[in-house]
């Protein structure tokens, strides 16, 4: 056989082997939590990658060539939305030049469409108030009910893009929803004794978690979102925390902890460094585990008081 025939044969073999892989739905998500949802729904018929890692700040991600390549090959991009990623995702999508995943098309999904946002600001906003997330608080995924809603939305979109696997996705979705429902029972049980506890956090990431589990968000170490706190603000915060005997500060693991530590040293509050996304702590290997880490850290800290 001459060289041409050999190479053609090899090409056909490669194509035959590659074809099943080509059938996988390729999904890129902005956060690891969304990647977990996609994985839970898609099983082995989906290939998913998250751009922002669990220990990174999702508000700002440094662009890299590999991200552009990954997005260019994707069938579906799932973002959180509510302008969480507005600082880096639009530019990345533009650079990747994949028309399938441009906003407005089937291949682009903002999962926050599935939920009811809290803290939607009324009236005029300007930048002097900080990074107020003008469409509402985007950190919705720490409320498991929201995670379920997002999963349903994602499953519907994946079924639209890959109708042959729609039934498979639906099965997996149901299994995921059932798992979360069962986990919710034990989480509610664990958190019930502490309903009404006032908590201070560094940024606004935990507010949906507070609402779901009966905690009361009572202030932020960060004065204005995204801006390092001023001494005057910290003085007021410390005074308030001492008056109301706030027991813990929820501190997102990707922020520098020196300010929270300083506030803790002047009050009775303990700093809890917590993951906000899957992979943000060693034990937070999946979505259920992520909520477990937050619930267990909190209940343990309160138990030791």
Catalog residues that contact other proteins under the rule CB under 8 A.
59-60, 62-66, 68-69, 72, 87, 91-92, 94-97, 126-128, 130-131, 224-228
State the sign of the Cα–Cα–Cα–Cα dihedral 16, 17, 22, 24. positive
Neighbour tally for 159: CB within 10 Å: 18
Q: How far is the CB of 65 from other proteins (least distance, A)?
A: 5
**Which element (helix H / strand E) includes 21?**
helix 3-22
CA geometry: angle 225, 227, 231, nearest 5 deg:
110
Beta-bridge partner residues of 201: 220, 250
* Residue 96 or 173 having the CB closest to other proteins: 96
Q: Is 233 exposed, middle or buried (0-12, 13-18, 19+ CB in 10 A)?
A: middle
What are the structure tokens assigned to 69, written together? 């390549």
CA geometry: angle 227, 292, 27, nearest 5 deg:
70
* Residue 66 or 242 having the CB closest to other proteins: 66
CA geometry: angle 237, 239, 133, nearest 5 deg:
15
Q: How far, in Å, CA of 9 to CA of 4, rounded?
A: 9
Q: How far is the CB of 287 from other proteins (least distance, A)?
A: 27
* Residue 33 or 131 having the CB closest to other proteins: 131
| In contact, 285 and 258? CB cutoff 8 Å | no
Q: How far is the CB of 134 from other proteins (least distance, A)?
A: 11
* Residue 126 or 282 having the CB closest to other proteins: 126
Q: How far is the CB of 203 from other proteins (least distance, A)?
A: 11
* Residue 135 or 184 having the CB closest to other proteins: 135
* Residue 92 or 291 having the CB closest to other proteins: 92
């Amino acid at each position: 056989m001459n060289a041409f025939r050999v190479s053609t044969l090899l090409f056909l073999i490669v194509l035959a082997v590659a074809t099943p892989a080509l059938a996988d739905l390729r999904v890129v998500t902005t956060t690891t939590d969304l990647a977990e949802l996609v994985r839970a729904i898609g099983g082995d018929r989906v290939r998913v990658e998250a751009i922002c890692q669990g220990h990174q700040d999702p508000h700002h991600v440094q662009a890299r060539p590999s991200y552009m390549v990954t997005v260019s090959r994707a069938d579906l991009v799932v973002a959180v939305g509510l302008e969480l990623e507005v600082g880096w995702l639009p530019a990345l999508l533009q650079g990747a030049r994949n028309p399938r995943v441009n906003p407005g098309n089937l291949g682009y999904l903002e999962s926050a469409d599935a939920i009811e946002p809290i803290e939607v600001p009324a009236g005029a906003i300007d930048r002097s108030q900080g990074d107020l997330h003008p469409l509402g608080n985007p950190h919705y995924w720490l409320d498991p009910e929201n995670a379920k809603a997002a999963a349903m939305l994602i499953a519907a979109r994946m079924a639209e893009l890959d109708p042959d696997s729609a039934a498979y996705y639906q099965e997996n979705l149901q299994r995921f929803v059932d798992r979360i429902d069962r986990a919710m029972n034990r989480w509610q049980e664990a958190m019930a004794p502490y309903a009404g506890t006032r908590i201070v956090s560094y940024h606004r990431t935990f507010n949906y978690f507070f609402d779901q589990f009966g905690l009361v968000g009572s202030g932020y170490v960060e004065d204005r979102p995204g801006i390092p706190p001023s001494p005057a603000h910290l003085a007021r915060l410390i005074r308030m925390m001492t008056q109301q005997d706030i027991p813990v500060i929820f501190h997102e693991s990707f922020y520098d902890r020196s300010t929270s530590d300083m506030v803790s040293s002047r009050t009775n509050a303990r700093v809890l460094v917590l993951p906000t996304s899957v992979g943000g702590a060693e034990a937070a290997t999946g979505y259920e585990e992520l909520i477990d880490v937050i619930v267990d850290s909190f209940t343990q800290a309160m138990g030791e008081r």
